[in-house]
Structures are given as C-alpha cells and as structure tokens.
Structure 1
C-alpha cells in the first residue's frame, strides 16, 4: 500500500507523455488547408494501352487517403498541377530453366513527372527521369506475369508520388507567410 502513490504518479506521468505527443506525424495524411491538384492524363509514349489510365486510378486511390487534398481532372480551381509522362516500358525476360523456358521476368518502367504551383507558376518538384523495376518469378512467362509486375510498379510509384507531393505541399505551406 505504501507504493501506491508512486504507482499513481507513474501512471499520471505516462499519460502526460502520451498526450504531449512525440512530434511524429503520419506522412500519408495531409491535414493542412484544402488543396486541389489538377492531374491531366499522362502522356503515354509506349505501346502499352491504358497504362496512363492505370496510373491515374492508382494515384487517385492514394490521394483519397487525405481528406484535405483532392485530385481533379479540371484545371479551374486547382492549386497545383501534377503532370507526368510515361517514357518507356521494357519487358525483358531475365531467367531461364534447363529447357530454355522463361522462369522470371523483369519489368522496367521509366517515367517523369512534375508538380507545379498554379499561383506562382513555379515548378516545386520535378523528377525528370525515374526508373521503376519489378522482378516476377513465373512457371512460364506470360503477359499476365508482366501485368502483375507492372501493377506492383504502378502501386509503388503512386505511393512515392503521393508522399512526395504531400511533402512538397507541406514544405511550401511552412514557407508561405500567414494570410492577412
């Protein structure tokens, strides 16, 4: 019974530490002022049909994670423009079994993209050339295996673009003078 007050103080101290927070923020969520990002269809310089649409859909799913950022197909009213281009896709088969059947595939997707502030006209983030790759092991190399590897690339790329965009918006907002 004598240790009860020290236990109570320990619990109170722990609660205070938890309530004060540790300065960590969740990078997948932007909680600043509402922003609209206009994203036109990406230019597709490859022969892979609907690749631009798959990228748009994947990016849309990522941007839905933040209630303060909307992705739009309308330029009017947008705060930022996120434009991109699919430069190339390469589907080289990379491994073979003992009877010369393909057992693995590697997909290479090269893109470029930029985020532009509509109000200032400045490009606040530009990635002039980015290579994304995915390896996929298969029993027999098929276009379905290539599509699955490409889906992995698109998901990873979309997450990188989403997090990078939120980071740039946060930095820009921190540097902006407060509204009068």
Structure 2
C-alpha cells in the first residue's frame, strides 16, 4: 500500500512540476495556423531516391503539428522549406584482417533554407550541414547493403527531426 501511495505522490508531483515550469513539447506547434510548402530537394549525388526519402521524412515530421499544414503549391503558402543534397560519401573508417574495411562512415552533406514567403524573411539558412553514421561491413554484400541502408535511414530521420524542431522554434517567433 505504501508503494502505491509513493507512486501516486511521485506521479502527481511530476505532473504539477511539469505543468507549472513552462515545459512545452518541442514536437508540437500550437500557434496561429501556418502552411508550409516543402520542395523536393535537388540531388547532386548519384544516390537514387535520396531526395524522395528526405522529402517523405520531412513531411512525416511536419504532419505531427496540428497548426501547420503542408501544401503542394507555393502560391498561398506562408513558408517554404527548400534544400539540396550536396554529397553522399562512404569513406572507410577502420580496417580488419587482410586490410578489408570493417566499418564505414556514411557521410551526407546537405543545405537548406526556411523562408517566410510574404516578407522574404529567412528563418533558417544552413549553408552546409554534414550528417555521419557508422555501419559495419560484412563479407555478405547483402548484409552490408542492409547496414548501409539502415545508416542512411537513421541520418535522414535524425536530420528531418532536427529541421522540423528548428523550424518550429522559428515559426513560433512569427507574428
């Protein structure tokens, strides 16, 4: 019984503390309605579908906010998010027996901009941002390819989340 009471007190205390300290969920924008036009990024690499994968990840993140709508038309949008995939590299990182690579660093370099269309005000301008994820190389080429695909998915998801969160901070400052 004492354990149940303690649990209740901890839950109640945490609720009151978080409710009164100005905590806000960084994944939710609850300000005035805004529409954002997200472009398909220019892909300067030979990696097929990379632009589409980034676009889909960004859309998934922006759909989390009830006050931000995604539009497929630039006309009428409040904001535009555009970007470019600058490079995609797989330089070897470490070597094992027989001088064969055992770990590879996948490097993705991008640039992007978030702009308010009515005022042409730049809210975010990232001229070069590099994302790196290690993955294991195997003697089985299919396994190596799967590891590389997972590393790229991790980069794309983390990047989309960061862009989304940075965007929410800037959008919340708008009138």
- TM-score tier, shorter chain, comes to 0.7 to 0.9
Query: Does 1:24 find its partner at 2:26?
Result: no
> 1:151 matched to which residue of 2?
153
1:53 and 2:73 are equivalent in the alignment: no
- The C-alpha deviation readout for 1:7-39, integer Å capped at 9, x for no partner, is xxx9xx969946962211001100111111101
Pairing 1:68-83 to 2, within 5 Å after superposition: 68-83=67-82
Aligned residue for 1:169, secondary structure, equals helix
List gaps (5 residues or longer) in structure 1: 1-9
Residue 157 (structure 2) pairs with residue 165 (structure 1): no
Normalised by the size of structure 1, how large is the TM-score? Answer: 0.82
CA offsets 1:61-113 (integer angstroms, 9 cap, x no match) = 11111111122221122100000000011111222211233221110000000
State the TM-score, normalized to the length of structure 2.
Answer: 0.84
* Aligned match of 1:105: 104
CA positional deviation for 1:131: 0.5
**Highest Rg: 1 or 2?**
1
Alpha-carbon deviation of 1:139? 2.7
Aligned length: 162
> SS at 2:173's partner residue?
helix
Cα gap change, 1:139 to 1:74, in 2 (>3 Å):
same
Deviates more, 1:140-149 or 1:52-61: 140-149
Secondary structure at the counterpart of residue 69 of structure 2: strand
Deviation at residue 57 of structure 1 after TM alignment: 0.6
Counterpart contact for 1:32–1:68, Cα < 8 Å: yes
